[in-house]
């Protein structure tokens, strides 16, 4: 908890057994109240690894629902757990879990209702496992979007996000796609 606000980390997982332990180990469990892992019908032993790590809230889709469908399940469960702050962290370690306190602080003290992080800043992206082709297209798309929108963001396509419960409750999650364009 930070500032009396319950923090839940949501991990939308698909074939994450090789990186899940490292990601989970770096979560600052002293401030994170709960972790939710939703497995989207992985072909590996992600669920077994999650349970062996002691993750209390492991949900498993019977069939692959897609990235958006996985997020919806994560967010619904976090809201059910009465989270005040919900942080989505992919278990593939492309995002550094050590940033969770900073994200949570910005949300807990009402500085922002939504925080989007960037794996592009610093050393992280390719070093932490982002495939080069994804990195390349991420950079091209972000460059184009910055021109079109007159902004200067380092990454529009981030999966490392933090929300207040109020924001997620105000969004009609079901109206969003179950696909990657969620």
CATH class of the domain whose range is 7-117+158-175: alpha beta
Confidence at residue 124, expressed as pLDDT on a 0 to 100 scale: 66
122: helix, strand or coil: coil
pLDDT in tens, the chain (182 residues): 999 999 999 999 999 999 999 999 999 999 999 999 999 999 999 999 999 999 999 999 999 999 999 999 999 999 999 999 999 999 988 888 999 999 999 999 999 999 998 877 766 677 777 788 888 998 899 999 999 999 888 888 888 899 999 999 999 988 988 887 76
10: helix, strand or coil: strand
135: helix, strand or coil: helix
Among 88, 84, 111, CA closest to 27:
88
Confidence at residue 159, expressed as pLDDT on a 0 to 100 scale: 82
Confidence at residue 29, expressed as pLDDT on a 0 to 100 scale: 97
Name the CA radius of gyration of the chain, rounded: 16
Task: Name the residue ranges covered by the structural domains of the chain.
Answer: 7-117+158-175, 124-157
DSSP track, 90-104: -TTSSS-GGGHHHHH
Read off the DSSP letter of residue 4: T
Alpha carbons 72 and 165: distance in angstroms, whole number: 13
> Is residue 55 within 8 Å of 9, Cβ to Cβ?
no
Confidence at residue 95, expressed as pLDDT on a 0 to 100 scale: 85
């Amino acid at each position: 908890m930070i500032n009396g606000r319950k923090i839940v980390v949501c991990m939308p997982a698909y074939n994450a057994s090789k990186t899940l332990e490292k990601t989970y180990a770096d979560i600052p469990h002293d401030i994170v109240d709960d972790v939710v892992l939703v497995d989207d019908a992985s072909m590996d032993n992600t669920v077994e690894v999650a349970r062996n790590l002691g993750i209390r809230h492991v949900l498993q889709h019977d069939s692959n629902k897609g990235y958006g469908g996985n997020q919806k399940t994560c967010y619904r469960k976090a809201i059910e757990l009465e989270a005040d702050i919900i942080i989505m962290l992919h278990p593939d370690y492309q995002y550094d879990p050590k940033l969770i306190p900073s994200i949570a602080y910005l949300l807990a003290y009402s500085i922002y209702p939504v925080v989007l992080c960037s794996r592009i800043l610093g050393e992280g992206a390719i070093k932490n496992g982002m495939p080069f082709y994804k990195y390349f297209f991420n950079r091209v798309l972000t460059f184009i979007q910055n021109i079109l929108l007159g902004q200067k963001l380092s990454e529009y396509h981030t999966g490392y996000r933090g929300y207040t419960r109020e924001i997620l409750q105000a969004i009609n999650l079901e109206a969003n796609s179950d696909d990657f364009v969620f």
